[in-house]
Each structure stands twice: as C-alpha cells, then as structure tokens.
C-alpha cells in the first residue's frame, strides 16, 4: 500500500494524542516539538547497536543519541525532562509507533529540469588579434549591432596594428623578398600584421588574403 503524505501526517498526530494521554502532564510542549521532528524527518532508524539519532529542531548541525531510555540532550541530562521524557525520546517513540502502523510515504520525484537553450545573439563578430606574440580569436556578441561595433572599436584600439616599416624598406625591386627585411610579424606587401605559426620546431609568420595565405614575401618567378 502506498502511503500518502496526508495519511502519514494524520497517523503521526493520532499517535501524538495517545502519547499525550499517557505521558506525564509536565512534558508541556515537548510533544509538539517531537511531532515537528518526526514530520521533518529528524529521527533516524535505529542503528545496529540499537541507538537512535535525533537531530535538533533548532540547529540542523546538532544531533542527540538515544540509548535505551537515555538521551544526550541537556534536558535529559540535567533532569529537567519529566521522568526522562525529553522531546527527542518522545519523537523516537512516535516515529517507532508510526512505522509499525504505516510505511513511510514515498518521496515525490521531481521532474528533471529541461536543459537551458540560449538564443543565438542577434549580432556577433569574430576578429583575430596578435596579443603577446600569439594569434588570438575574439568573439563579441550583442543584441544591438551599433553597440557591438562600438565594443569592437574599443577592443581594436587596445591592440593597434604594428607600425609599418620605413618608406625606404617598403620600396623594393621587383622580385625582391620583402617580408625578411621588415619587422618580424609585419607584412610589407599588404602593410598589415601577420600571425605567428609554430609547427615541428619551425616558426613563421603569415596572414590571410583573398588569394590565400601570405608570408610577407613575394614569390620569385
């Protein structure tokens, strides 16, 4: 039989009322506290040695251990609980009796949360920059194109293009190799910065053009 939460609560209160008629009148509000502990699941099943752990109703990090009729709480140890009936001992008794009458209610399974799908940004731009000698691709996204362009301009201002070589170095005879005589990483043919590439122990600079990759030097024919 499947026990609903409502049935479980009703049986707990019925058992608590019977306990109220049996226990000493001096227990006062300890029965109410015990009911809250049982409803909150603060009473654990008996351990192998028969001891029962009951967690504090006011401090979730504190717990008390019942062994037989004794409890480690201050109410019991100071002799303030009438005939030793502290709230934790009462809670353990209610929990045991309810377990004899009803199985614990089955936990409610929560549906799995649907994966979050982020919408595609209305405006985006990719740019390649040379930062600390390394080629870096930066992607900017925004909901407004004009704001995106302003952000892009701000990024580009932080990483300006390397200054071109002198006009004397820029002028060369037909067929002369230019990239080797300018600054490293600067293409004198297209007057732009190149990307550094490393492979198999070799390092070279190049950049993308409409005709393919340029290494900053003319092909001699």
214 pLDDT tier (thresholds 50, 70, 90): confident
Q: What is the residue whose two structure tokens read 């170095």?
A: 169
- 3-class SS of residue 24: coil
User: What value does the mean pLDDT take over residues 65-87?
Assistant: 94
Cβ(13)–Cβ(5) below 8 Å: no
pLDDT over threshold 50, residue 102: yes
pLDDT over threshold 70, residue 117: no
Q: Per DSSP, what are the bridge partners of residue 214?
A: 207
Q: What is the pTM of this model?
A: 0.47
Q: What percent of the chain has pLDDT over 90?
A: 35
- The CA–CA distances, whole Å, from 125 to 86, 120, 154 equal 69, 13, 13
Q: Where are the domains of the chain?
A: 5-101, 119-160, 164-221
pLDDT over threshold 60, residue 57: yes
| CA-atom Rg of the chain in angstroms | 39
Residue 210's pLDDT is what? 77
31 pLDDT tier (thresholds 50, 70, 90): very high
143 pLDDT tier (thresholds 50, 70, 90): confident
Cβ(207)–Cβ(194) below 8 Å: yes
Strands (DSSP E) found in the chain: 52-55, 63-67, 70-71, 123-131, 134-142, 186-187, 192-193, 195-199, 202-209, 212-214
Highest mean pLDDT among 76-80, 158-162, 191-195: 76-80
Residue 221's pLDDT is what? 46
pLDDT in tens, 122-132: 788 888 888 77
155 pLDDT tier (thresholds 50, 70, 90): confident
83 pLDDT tier (thresholds 50, 70, 90): very high
What mean pLDDT value characterizes the chain? 80
Residue 145's pLDDT is what? 86
pLDDT over threshold 50, residue 167: no
């Amino acid at each position: 039989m499947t026990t609903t939460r409502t049935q479980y609560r009703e049986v707990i209160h019925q058992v608590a009322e019977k306990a109220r008629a049996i226990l000493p009148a001096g227990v006062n509000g300890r029965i109410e506290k015990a009911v809250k502990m049982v409803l909150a699941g603060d009473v654990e099943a008996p351990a192998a040695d028969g001891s029962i752990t009951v967690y504090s109703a006011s401090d979730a990090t504190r717990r008390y251990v019942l062994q037989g009729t004794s409890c480690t709480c201050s109410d019991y140890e100071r002799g303030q609980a009438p005939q030793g009936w502290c709230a934790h001992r009462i809670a353990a008794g209610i929990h045991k009796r309810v377990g004899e009458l009803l199985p614990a209610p089955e936990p409610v399974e929560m549906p799995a949360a649907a994966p979050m799908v982020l919408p595609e940004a209305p405006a985006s731009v990719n740019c390649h920059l040379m930062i600390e000698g390394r080629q870096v691709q930066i992607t900017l996204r925004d909901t407004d194109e004009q704001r995106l362009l302003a952000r892009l301009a701000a990024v580009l201002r932080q990483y300006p293009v390397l200054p071109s070589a002198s006009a004397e170095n820029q002028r060369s005879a037909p067929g002369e190799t230019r990239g080797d005589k300018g600054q490293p990483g600067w293409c004198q043919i297209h007057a732009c910065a190149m990307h550094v590439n490393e492979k198999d122990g070799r390092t070279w600079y190049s950049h993308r053009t409409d005709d393919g990759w340029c290494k900053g030097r003319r092909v001699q024919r």
